[in-house]
Structure 1
Amino acid sequence: MYLGLDLGTSELKALLLADDHRIVGVARAPLTVSRPQALWSEQDPAQWWDALETVMQALRAAHAEALAQVRAIGLSGQMHGAVLLDAAGEVLRPAILWNDGRSAAQCDELAAAVPRLGEIAGNLAMPGFTAPKLLWVRAHEPALFARTAHVLLPKDWLRWRLSGEMVSDMSDAAGTLWLDVGARDWSDELLAATGLTRAHMPRLVEGSAVSAVLSPDLAARWGLGPQVAIAGGAGDNAASAIGMGLVAPGQGFVSLGTSGVIFVATDRFAPNPAQAVHAFCHALPGRWHQMSVMLSAASALSWAVRAFGFADEAALLVSAAGLDAPARAAAPLFLPYLSGERSPHNDAQAQGLLFGLTHAHGPADIAYAVAEGVSFGLHDGLDTLQPPQGDLALVGGGARSAWWAQLLADILEVPLALGEGGEAGGALGAARLAWLADGGRVEAVCRAPELRQRFVPEAAQLAGHRARHARFQALYRALRPCFPR
């Protein structure tokens, strides 16, 4: 048996995986986010530990026999969070999370201090990353910064509590802006720009390597055996890719969650910071990935539900699907930048727009425009990445609509594959990394899920989508000077 622990923003999930690929048990514990000021997003790490205790006790109650057979644990987690510890290992302040926006000024400071930032770290300086958060702490909480002896990412703080070892993996460390992503090592230049050294950083291992051993006391308390290894693990998107078997160059996925992500695995470090592409290490040695991110995907549908009186997102998509071809061609255009945009525009001030409204348009036309606009935004992100080879896996809440999945395949001009068990996500990937750390072979462990449905681009739709996409892109270019700066 192998145990995957996935520390998300809204919940901690534990998953027991057998070595015949059966998911034996899953347990969840909810988490809450604190927003003490505008743009702030924080969590108390003690809440993570309480959640871990909850899921371990739940697994022991329901699957004690399986838990006793666990040979290794894998960790997955929300990326970019900053957990600050003093010399004794005590947490100094609530963790500053990935979706915290307070450090925009520090991003400018870091970019000015290290002109080669994108070349080394593979990413632009954005408030979501870890390094700008530490610059903010240095500027606004200098006494606390002076006491900071160690900085850990969220899942790596769990590892510290589980084992007494301060370790991170390459994929999660790549999201800090302190890693030389091509060299897979800490960058002294980037650390110095934030007033830190390697002494503040955890030791680095590959995601599929053994990083530590579970504390005997915890093993006894939770009903595990002695000498349970802890794998390096991965950041959430890399772990999800491992869970879907996406490890070869060119393999990837589209995620239709609150935000929209396109992930493509690569065999080399391929940064493209000019178009706000994220270039990170993958969770396996010698592999990297590129990722485009749009900030409003399924959340744009949620906005339209509220604004135009649909019962829910499913009802909106049913309404959109009812439009015939002439109505789709005459529908308004929707710019989905309700929270600004990341890839490819890196434009925090971009705004949403419904363009081309007439008396003839009703709720169904607007529903179509919103689903189409999100799909166009994902297309723009895909164009910044190395081309995928074969199908892209389709995951996330938006994947539940076969109509939207087909529309997205038509607009992206890439086949999309919907597999079984995609909801297991990072926890499954973490368990697989534990299996690899226990000696499993990548070919046997990182299997693709069973195909549930495949969506192939329809050639008859190509010309119409390309014409509307060109107008969509022209709208953003024309309006960019009009957005507030």
Structure 2
Amino acid sequence: MYIGLDLGTSGLKAILINEAQEIVAEANAPLTNERPHDGWSEQSPESWLAACDAVMGELGAKADLSGVAGIGLSGQMHGATLLDKDDKVLRPCILWNDTRSHKEAAALDADPRFRAVTGNIVFPGFTAPKLAWVKNNEPEIFDRVAKVLLPKDYLRLYLTGNYVGEMSDSAGTAWFDTGARDWSDELLAATDLSRDHMPELVEGSEASGQLRAELAGKWGVPASCVIAGGGGDNAASAIGVGVVKAGQAFVSLGTSGVLFAANDGYQPDAGTAVHTFCHSLPDTWHQMGVILAATDALNWYGRFVGKGAAELTGALGGLQAPSKTRFLPYLGGERTPLNDAAIRGSFVGLEHATDTAAGTRAVLEGVTFAIKDCAEALAATGTRIERLLAVGGGSNSDYWCEAIATALDCPVDLPVAGDFGGAFGAARLGQMAATGGGVELAASPKTEKTIDPNTDLTAAFSDGFARYKDAQRAIKGLT
């Protein structure tokens, strides 16, 4: 059996699977984060360890863990966990959604070496600018830093006693040579750090160490249990849904929206807000477009009209041509392709005939066109998407999925009911590390149904996207 641990911002989730990858048991432990100042977002690394003990205890109460051979890790990316020479945590972890280091990020991004080596824009959420901020604002802490670990890799230190990271998560630090799959000594030096401050590296499907004997005895897990390298949250989710080869992709309609495509080679476009990172399997990479408000935008609209998301989408009937009313879903800025934290959303073209249903369609269309923006950004780098797997709460709306299929001219597959997220992908990586298996252990889930593009509305959605881009250009001129 195999365990996947997914360390998210709001909680740690654990899944236990058997050899056939059937879920045997699940457990969750909540986490909280603090926002002591505007733009700050921090979390206590010690709370992750307590959450790990809690979920492992809960799994052990539900199932016999004596046959667990591997544990895989998934987690929130980019967080800066700072340790001194005695492994003492020096300050709360600065999380992925913390924007305090925007000035430091801009300064690093102005150095052409960072985009050239990493293949990515340096975003404020990445790890390197966080350390630059600490150096500028907390120099006494910076001087004591012995190791910088990403969140799941601090959890790994607890599990194994080893300082180890893996490629997919490390690629989001802005210190990584993404093509070479290794730390960049040049970029580390540019932030007054060195390779000694970083963990060793393994591939996500490789073993990073064995479970510490103390924990094995405490949890009833064999001491021979290996801990896989694992993956960043989206890369691990991709392992969970079987998106591991070029041409495969998934769209996640959660609070935010993610368009994730696997690549067989490294093909960055550092001039855009497309993320180009290593995947969790050897010699594979992935690209990601991210929009910051997907179902979050629909829930926001629902609060105005006093209806829930399911009620709003369930009342729409069949797919219609995009309405005159346009919605730009930039409620808290936008990542791909705009890279603009200051831009804000708007409704355009409101009229007397705009009722609740028309507003709902406009919101769904706005998010759909933002995803098409991501698809076009990925296509500009040569990434091809032949079909999409839809996951997340928004995928429960056939209307929304048909809109995406039509706008992107791409079939959308809906998987059978089940959990195919980061914890499941991490468990699969744990199985790979324990057995020596590879991509064959990352099969796609069975498809419940496929939603094809509505060819009768292809031209209408093309026109709708053009109107969306017009509105986007107009609002960009105001920010």
Contact 2:266 2:285 (8 Å CA) reproduced:
yes
Tell me the amino acid that sits aligned with residue 384 of structure 1: A
Alignment size in residue pairs: 476
Asked whether 1:384 is paired with 2:377, we answer yes
In structure 1, the partner of 2:31 is 31
Asked whether 1:54 is paired with 2:54, we answer yes
Between the aligned partners of 1:49 and 1:367, the Cα distance in structure 2 is: 42
In structure 2, the partner of 1:342 is 335
In structure 2, the partner of 1:176 is 173
Q: Indicate the RMSD between aligned Cα atoms, in angstroms.
A: 1.3
Find 1:126's aligned residue among 117, 123, 128. 123
Tell me the amino acid that sits aligned with residue 422 of structure 2: G
Contact 1:207 1:232 (8 Å CA) reproduced:
yes
In structure 2, the partner of 1:414 is 410
Asked whether 1:405 is paired with 2:401, we answer yes
Contact 2:207 2:227 (8 Å CA) reproduced:
yes
Find 2:292's aligned residue among 270, 278, 295. 295
**CA shift for structure 1 position 388:** 3.4
Asked whether 1:355 is paired with 2:351, we answer no
Asked whether 1:318 is paired with 2:311, we answer no
Contact 1:15 1:427 (8 Å CA) reproduced:
yes
**CA shift for structure 1 position 475:** 1.5
Between the aligned partners of 2:78 and 2:417, the Cα distance in structure 1 is: 26
Cα deviations by residue, 1:382-436 (Å, 9 ceiling, x for unpaired) = 1111443432111111111122111111112111111135534011111111111
Contact 1:323 1:364 (8 Å CA) reproduced:
no
In structure 1, the partner of 2:95 is 97
In structure 2, the partner of 1:423 is 419
Show structure 1 runs of 5+ residues with no match: none
Tell me the amino acid that sits aligned with residue 368 of structure 1: R
Find 1:138's aligned residue among 131, 135, 143. 135
Contact 2:210 2:223 (8 Å CA) reproduced:
no
Contact 1:103 1:127 (8 Å CA) reproduced:
yes
Distance of aligned partners of 1:205 and 1:300 in 2 relative to their CA distance in 1, 3 Å threshold: same
In structure 1, the partner of 2:161 is 164
**CA shift for structure 1 position 323:** 7.7
In structure 2, the partner of 1:374 is 367
Tell me the amino acid that sits aligned with residue 23 of structure 1: I
**CA shift for structure 1 position 441:** 2.9
Cα deviations by residue, 1:317-360 (Å, 9 ceiling, x for unpaired) = 124x14884xx554301111111111111122212111111112
Tell me the amino acid that sits aligned with residue 35 of structure 2: R
Asked whether 1:459 is paired with 2:455, we answer yes
Distance of aligned partners of 1:474 and 1:59 in 2 relative to their CA distance in 1, 3 Å threshold: same
Between the aligned partners of 2:22 and 2:299, the Cα distance in structure 1 is: 34
Distance of aligned partners of 1:469 and 1:198 in 2 relative to their CA distance in 1, 3 Å threshold: same
Distance of aligned partners of 1:275 and 1:245 in 2 relative to their CA distance in 1, 3 Å threshold: same
Contact 2:250 2:259 (8 Å CA) reproduced:
yes
In structure 2, the partner of 1:215 is 212
Q: TM-score, normalised by structure 1?
A: 0.96
Between the aligned partners of 1:363 and 1:283, the Cα distance in structure 2 is: 43
Between the aligned partners of 1:4 and 1:457, the Cα distance in structure 2 is: 35
In structure 1, the partner of 2:281 is 284
Contact 1:296 1:336 (8 Å CA) reproduced:
yes
Secondary structure class of the residue paired with 2:82: strand
Between the aligned partners of 1:17 and 1:329, the Cα distance in structure 2 is: 43
Tell me the amino acid that sits aligned with residue 56 of structure 1: M
Between the aligned partners of 2:477 and 2:242, the Cα distance in structure 1 is: 43
Cα deviations by residue, 1:50-78 (Å, 9 ceiling, x for unpaired) = 111111111111102xx110011111100
Find 1:259's aligned residue among 256, 266, 290. 256
Find 2:470's aligned residue among 474, 480, 484. 474
In structure 2, the partner of 1:153 is 150
In structure 1, the partner of 2:20 is 20
Secondary structure class of the residue paired with 1:391: strand
Contact 1:396 1:423 (8 Å CA) reproduced:
no
Secondary structure class of the residue paired with 2:112: coil
Q: TM-score, normalised by structure 2?
A: 0.97
Contact 1:323 1:365 (8 Å CA) reproduced:
no
Tell me the amino acid that sits aligned with residue 216 of structure 1: A
In structure 1, the partner of 2:41 is 41
**CA shift for structure 1 position 443:** 4.4
Distance of aligned partners of 1:369 and 1:72 in 2 relative to their CA distance in 1, 3 Å threshold: same
In percent, how many aligned pairs have the same letter? 49
**CA shift for structure 1 position 440:** 4.2
Tell me the amino acid that sits aligned with residue 455 of structure 1: I
Secondary structure class of the residue paired with 2:255: coil
Secondary structure class of the residue paired with 1:101: coil
Between the aligned partners of 1:301 and 1:324, the Cα distance in structure 2 is: 17
Between the aligned partners of 1:110 and 1:387, the Cα distance in structure 2 is: 27
In structure 2, the partner of 1:331 is 324
Cα deviations by residue, 1:200-228 (Å, 9 ceiling, x for unpaired) = 00000000111111101100000011211
Contact 1:211 1:230 (8 Å CA) reproduced:
yes
Contact 2:121 2:272 (8 Å CA) reproduced:
no
Cα deviations by residue, 1:231-276 (Å, 9 ceiling, x for unpaired) = 1110000000111111111211000011111000001111112220
Between the aligned partners of 1:443 and 1:261, the Cα distance in structure 2 is: 22
Secondary structure class of the residue paired with 2:271: helix
Cα deviations by residue, 1:80-108 (Å, 9 ceiling, x for unpaired) = 00100000001001000011111100011
In structure 2, the partner of 1:247 is 244
Contact 2:297 2:329 (8 Å CA) reproduced:
yes
Tell me the amino acid that sits aligned with residue 82 of structure 2: L
Between the aligned partners of 2:284 and 2:439, the Cα distance in structure 1 is: 15
Between the aligned partners of 1:126 and 1:428, the Cα distance in structure 2 is: 28
Distance of aligned partners of 1:423 and 1:216 in 2 relative to their CA distance in 1, 3 Å threshold: same
In structure 2, the partner of 1:116 is 113
Show structure 2 runs of 5+ residues with no match: none
Contact 1:421 1:449 (8 Å CA) reproduced:
no
Tell me the amino acid that sits aligned with residue 196 of structure 1: L
**CA shift for structure 1 position 316:** 1.8
Asked whether 1:69 is paired with 2:62, we answer no
